[in-house]
Amino acid sequence: MDYKNPKLVLETSKTEPGQVTWRSPSNLAIIKYWGKYGNQLPKNPSISFTLKNAYTETILAYAPKKSTALDISLQLYFNGEKNESFRAKMLGYFESLAEVFPFLRQLDLTIHTTNSFPHSTGIASSASGMSAAALCLCALENRFFDTLSEEADFYKKASFLSRLGSGSACRSVYPIMALWGESREVADSSNEYAVPMAEYINPVFHTYHDDILIISKKEKSVSSRAGHQLMEGNIYADNRYAQARQRLNNLLHVLKTGEVDTFGAIAEAEALTLHALMMVSEPPYVLIKPNTLKAIEAIKNFRETTKHPLYFSLDAGPNLHLLYPDAIKKDVQHFIRGELSEYCEQQQWIEDEAGDGPVEID
């Protein structure tokens, strides 16, 4: 599978300027993807919640190209301002897809993109950002050529192409929960794209909450891309990949039965394993902050005292994700406002939950 299609060429004289807009969510991996091979392929399968309120909104405007140059013409604005580093990253991504979408070389393109959350702080901004871009490109193809009118085909291609921009982005195109990576337990699972999981999980997880404590808004010191590369020399890597597969098998059972305490225990173990792998990389590095640890202790104390199934997770950064069923929302959010928010930068936190996936905006 590579989706290369030389037939996707425009008659530019008949092409009117226009734009497409997609809002795509971030996601939180419960079983973590950390380590890759080849062209953005995972060393182990991962599964994630699709979020609702943490998202990227991307507008892709286009017009027939004014020049005859064969390069891709792209301008990019992040939060309303030109951003050359983001432009360079997106341009490289678009160049890599030129054989998938030959029409990219025929257009003048402008991207306006914004996040609903702090960028590059470990809330998977690359997942939401690159999936939003891939969805825009698939929407353009369908608008110009009507080749992706089947919904399943559209999202499968968007997932495949999202992966090429950022591995975890491939999971963001599906609602509630998605799995990426080959697993004997899940039909049609693949290392090349994610598959939707919502219909296979207990209803309790369809309304699960994932409130995010913004411990720090600072850009993390080591990027996820660099972190994946460091796994290549990590002496614990092979054992980790085997562990992840076993934990996934255990989690798939739990997701069907709705055992929220076992679910939470697996989520916490995976979060701590992720950061332990960072600490034993060569060179080692630490992304969690003192307030991350203080908040974790407070969460454990709350759980022990109340017996509420409140658990935490972490992505590749210091900010904590609080996982809990909808039935205890009132008590948990009272706890956040009354105690946990003091560990957050400017007392900021994001109220979030499992979401319905990306949406095209007219």
125 with 18, same domain: the answer is yes
- Within 13 Å, how many C-alpha atoms sit on residue 212's CB side? 27
Residues 6+ positions from 224 with CB-CB distance below 8 Å? 126, 316
Do residues 25 and 124 both lie within one domain?
yes
CA distance 282 to 43: 19
Nearest Cα residue to 64 out of 97, 15, 6, 103: 15
Binning the chain into helix, strand and coil, the percentages to the nearest 5 are 45, 20, 35
Torsion of Cα atoms, 243 then 227 then 47 then 79, to 10°: 170
Residue 325 and residue 184 share a domain = no
DSSP for 209-267, please give it: EEEEE-S--SPPSS-HHHHHHHGGG-TTHHHHHHHHHHHHHHHHHHHHHT-HHHHHHHH
Strands (E), 32-131: 36-37, 41-42, 46-64, 73-78, 81-82, 107-115
In a domain, 244, yes or no: yes
Does one domain contain both 174 and 266?
A: no
Query: In angstroms, rounded to a whole number, what is the distance separating the alpha carbons of residues 331 and 133?
Result: 38
What are all long-range contacts of 92-96, with beta carbons under 8 Å and residues at least 24 apart?
93/130, 93/133, 93/164, 93/165, 96/164
Residue 232 neighbours by CB distance under 10 Å: 12
Between the CA of residue 246 and those of 34, 188, 250, what are the distances in Å? Answer: 15, 19, 6
Q: Give the end of a domain, one of 175, 200, 225.
A: 200
> Residue 347 carries which DSSP code?
G
CB 72 within 8 A of CB 102: no
Cα 13 from chain centroid (whole Å): 38
Assign residue 113 the CATH number of its domain.
Answer: 3.30.230.10
Query: What's the total number of domains in the chain?
Result: 2
Instruction: Please check whether residues 169 and 242 belong to one and the same domain.
Output: no
Are 177 and 214 part of one and the same domain?
Answer: no
User: Residue 52: which residues within 8 A CB-CB, separation 6 or more?
Assistant: 25, 352, 353, 354, 355, 356
Q: Is residue 357 part of a domain?
A: no
Q: Encode the chain (362 residues) as per-residue pLDDT tens digits.
A: 799 999 999 999 999 999 999 999 999 999 999 999 999 999 999 999 999 999 999 999 999 998 888 999 999 999 999 999 999 999 999 999 999 999 999 999 999 999 998 766 667 789 999 999 999 999 999 999 999 999 999 999 999 999 999 999 999 999 999 999 999 999 999 999 999 999 999 999 999 999 999 999 888 888 888 999 999 999 999 999 999 999 999 999 999 999 999 999 999 999 999 999 999 999 999 999 999 999 999 999 999 999 999 999 999 999 999 999 999 999 999 999 999 999 999 999 999 999 999 999 98
Give the tokens for residue 347. Answer: 């007392």
Give bridge partners of residue 25 from the DSSP assignment. Answer: 55
- Tell me which H or E stretch contains 20: strand 18-31
| Parent domain of 278 | 210-350
d(CA 172, CA 166): 11
User: Do 174 and 240 fall within a single domain?
Assistant: no
